[in-house]
Amino acid sequence: MLSLLRHARYVMSENPVTGLAFALFAVFLLAAILGPLIAPYDPLQSNAAMALKPPSAAHWFGTDQLGRDIFSRVLVATRLDLTIAFASVVLAFLLGALSGVAAGYFGGWTDRVVGRLADTIMAFPLFVLAMGIVAALGNKVINIVIATAIINFPLYARVARAEANVRREAGFVEAARLSGNGEARVVLGHVLPNIMPIMMVQMSLTMGYAILNAAGLSFIGLGVRPPDAEWGIMVAEGANFIQSGEWWIALFPGATLMLAVFCFNLLGDGLRDIIDPRKRT
Amino acid sequence: MLKILLARLATAIPSIVGVVVVTFMLTRLLPGDPAAYFAGLSASPQAIAEVRAKLGLDKSLPEQFVAYIGDLLSGNLGNSLSTGQPVVTEIATRLPASAELTLFALILAVGIAIPLGVLAAVKQGTWIDHLCRIVTTAGVSLPVFFTGLLFAYLFYYVLQWAPAPSGRLDVFLSPPPHVTGFYLIDSLLAGDFEAFRGALGQLALPAISMAIFSLAPLARMTRGSMLSVLGSDFIRTARASGLAPRTVIFSYAFRNAVLPVITTLGMVFSFLLGANVLIETVFAWPGIGLYAVNALITSDYAPVQGFVLTMAVLYVALNLVIDLLYGLVDPRVRLES
């Protein structure tokens, strides 16, 4: 643990960008937790007299077509966006890691079924498949989570399979088996914890993609519905005003979304450097 | 050669089967009762039952699946509720618009990413290497619909360099006579340079937005693969033999390094086809992505399902082409099979 921390400090000092990404992550986390408490205005409160006002001291990010304060909306949306992304990543991890570890450990038909399933999902352009899934399951936020988890499933399953396959004959696995543990116990209690660090890296690497995907789906009108504040849908609302020059409605939620994805991508790279130095690029 | 071709074609069959099974499942998953949807809002129970029988939804799942395959083979993807037109013809008329945009974006992405990746590897640690890293990290972080909007604002509203983000051609210009369906090619064939310039102007912003989004994996892979090839023994030998640096880099290193880059094209296409939907929405581009989005808004499911199936089949076909290309570029793959 101590050596890991020392290594983490070394990676941070080598790459200050990772430190910046961690700081940014903390800011997003705070915004997600405290958002509704610290927002200066009610994110749903419209005010016709203040509609379409550019950024000012009172409204840092300006106001939208209904006079709602964009700063408050962007702030409050953090929680929804991060929750969708986080929930989908956790779901993808649960589905992907469990089936992938089983596939890698047991081999045989389990491996074939999981492999075929992953291949079938990968045969689609992923965003298009997500669209199809949300359209079929119904236009709800929970279905965005499910769709995003499904399109991320193959990544998790493949990594988990490869890592479990390498460890199948490892000494600690043999020892666990010899001391009378059942197969399920060996897989869940010994193999899975051993590949957890790599799965954590995978989770942080896919988090940015999950945010992007969820925002893209709500941009085309799937999942989140107005008047709820969410970055993708706010950009979609602002899109109608770009041609008349009201740039702030789309810019601020879009830039925040971009910053969040950027932060998670850097964080993923940094975490990988710390945990899995072989894969450093 | 024919044998190899057939063997490669056979590898696409499981993907196609998977795609068809999944799209069939998606058509059965529709929220609520699909028959009620297709019968319309104010349909009587009797009308719904009729629609159900007409759609074959009263049969068992295997029977429905067989009927679905039959429909697909005869090119029947159902009718759009809002226009009443067969989905197949509507998708077919819109496909060239999407294909032109996507291919143009791909050419741009490859044209920027590969030189950038090669330069970053050759001049490792210099400013161009850092530029490559920034571009690749920023590229995948940019929400493509946001970049598109930003470009539209900057180049249309502020600078007025680009035409209004509304479709493939200005309303004052007439589209060139239909030959390939690609406005750029058709207008050149017709010798209509005004239409060519107009079409290019409309195409530029959406294509650039898509290219920026999708060039990251290409540039990253080119750089990584060039670096590993440049570090290998045969390059050292080539250098030691006194070959010109240009020959070493292009004839020796690049030809070997390009192989993994070709495999990432599959991922790039996945990105591009997804981004296509969002970009068409932003630029009111009359392709199949916008068609699907408009159908989604009105809960018109047949076009959405047709769209997902078309995209998936296209994607499988593109992956097949990439596979064949790989065999063409790498003689070793040909020998193995």
Q: What is the pLDDT of residues B238-252, one digit of tens each?
A: 888 888 888 888 888
Q: What is the pLDDT of residues B188-225, one digit of tens each?
A: 888 888 888 888 888 889 999 999 888 888 888 888 88
With 90 as the cut, is the pLDDT of residue A142 above it?
Answer: yes
With 90 as the cut, is the pLDDT of residue B72 above it?
Answer: no
A125 and B301 in contact by Cβ < 8 A? no
CATH number, span A2-40+61-279: 1.10.3720.10
3 state DSSP class of A69: strand
Residues 239-268 of B with CB under 8 A from A: none
Are A48 and A66 contacting, i.e. CB atoms less than 8 angstroms apart?
yes
Chosen from A220, A247, A261 to mutate, greatest number of chain B CBs within 10 A: A220
Measure the CA–CA gap between A236 and A232, rounded to whole angstroms.
Answer: 6
- Max mean pLDDT range (B18-22, B38-42, B45-49): B18-22
Chosen from A119, A142, A144, A219 to mutate, greatest number of chain B CBs within 10 A: A219
Cα–Cα distance list, A75 to A39, A116, A260, B143, B175 (Å): 7, 42, 12, 18, 46
B145 and A135 in contact by Cβ < 8 A? no
Which residues of A are less than 8 Å from B31 in CB distance?
Answer: 136-139
**A131 touching B (Cβ < 8 Å):** yes
Cα–Cα distance list, B136 to B112, B213, B223 (Å): 11, 9, 11
Q: Is the dihedral of CA B39, B43, B48, B54 positive or negative?
A: negative
**CB-based burial of residue B242 (10 Å sphere; 0-12 exposed, 13-18 middle, 19+ buried)?**
exposed
| pLDDT averaged over every residue in chain A | 84
- Which residues make beta-bridge pairs with B79? B86
A124 and B30 in contact by Cβ < 8 A? no
Q: DSSP character for B86?
A: B
- Of A15 and A93, the one with more pLDDT: A93
- Among residues of chain A, what percentage have pLDDT more than 70? 94
**CB-based burial of residue B153 (10 Å sphere; 0-12 exposed, 13-18 middle, 19+ buried)?**
buried
**A96 touching B (Cβ < 8 Å):** no
Helices B255-282 and A126-137: crossing angle in degrees, nearest 10, is 40
**B312 touching A (Cβ < 8 Å):** yes
A125 and B26 in contact by Cβ < 8 A? no
With 70 as the cut, is the pLDDT of residue B21 above it?
Answer: yes
**A245 touching B (Cβ < 8 Å):** yes
With 80 as the cut, is the pLDDT of residue B315 above it?
Answer: yes
**CB-based burial of residue A61 (10 Å sphere; 0-12 exposed, 13-18 middle, 19+ buried)?**
buried
Measure the CA–CA gap between A263 and A17, rounded to whole angstroms.
Answer: 10
Q: How many Å lie between the alpha carbon of A193 and the closest alpha carbon of chain B? A: 30
Residues in CB range of A127: below 8 A, 6 or more apart: A151, A213, A216, B270, B273, B274, B275, B277, B278
Q: How many Å lie between the alpha carbon of A172 and the closest alpha carbon of chain B? A: 34
pLDDT of residue A92: 94
Are B140 and B216 contacting, i.e. CB atoms less than 8 angstroms apart?
yes
With 90 as the cut, is the pLDDT of residue A54 above it?
Answer: no
Looking at residues A247-276, what average pLDDT do you find?
84
Domain-wise residue ranges, chain A:
2-40+61-279
B19 and A136 in contact by Cβ < 8 A? no
A235 and B23 in contact by Cβ < 8 A? no
* pTM (two decimals): 0.87
Residues in CB range of B227: below 8 A, 6 or more apart: B121, B124
**B155 touching A (Cβ < 8 Å):** no
Are B195 and B111 contacting, i.e. CB atoms less than 8 angstroms apart?
no
| pLDDT averaged over every residue in chain B | 84
pLDDT of residue A84: 93
Chosen from A131, A211, A247 to mutate, greatest number of chain B CBs within 10 A: A131
Q: How many Å lie between the alpha carbon of A209 and the closest alpha carbon of chain B? A: 8
R_g of chain A, CA atoms, integer Å:
22
Q: How many Å lie between the alpha carbon of B242 and the closest alpha carbon of chain A? A: 30
Residues 107-146 of B with CB under 8 A from A: 137-138, 140-146
Half-sphere exposure of A230 (CA within 13 A, CB side): 29
Question: Could you tell me which of A69, A33, A42, A74 has the C-alpha nearest to residue A54?
Answer: A69
Residues 171-210 of A with CB under 8 A from B: 208-209
Are A223 and A81 contacting, i.e. CB atoms less than 8 angstroms apart?
no
Measure the CA–CA gap between B58 and B64, rounded to whole angstroms.
Answer: 9
pLDDT of residue A236: 87
Q: How many Å lie between the alpha carbon of A106 and the closest alpha carbon of chain B? A: 23
Task: Kindly indicate the confidence band of residue A85, based on its pLDDT and cuts at 50, 70 and 90.
Answer: very high
B296 and A257 in contact by Cβ < 8 A? no
B270 and A125 in contact by Cβ < 8 A? yes
A235 and B149 in contact by Cβ < 8 A? yes
A132 and B144 in contact by Cβ < 8 A? no
Helices (H), chain A: 2-14, 16-38, 70-106, 108-122, 126-137, 141-167, 171-178, 183-186, 192-219, 231-242, 248-275
Report yes or no for ipTM above 0.90: no
Measure the CA–CA gap between A102 and A114, rounded to whole angstroms.
Answer: 9
- Max mean pLDDT range (A53-62, A117-126, A238-247): A117-126
- Max mean pLDDT range (A114-123, A163-172, B10-19, B129-138): A114-123
Residue B168: how many other CB atoms lie within 10 Å: 22
Nearest CA in chain B to A136: B30
- Of A13 and B87, the one with more pLDDT: B87
Measure the CA–CA gap between B189 and B196, rounded to whole angstroms.
Answer: 10
Half-sphere exposure of A9 (CA within 13 A, CB side): 5
Q: How many Å lie between the alpha carbon of B311 and the closest alpha carbon of chain A? A: 7
Chosen from B142, B153, B298 to mutate, greatest number of chain A CBs within 10 A: B153
Backbone angles phi, psi at B86, to 5 degrees: -60, 135
Residues 11-50 of B with CB under 8 A from A: 14-16, 18-19, 21-23, 25-27, 29-31
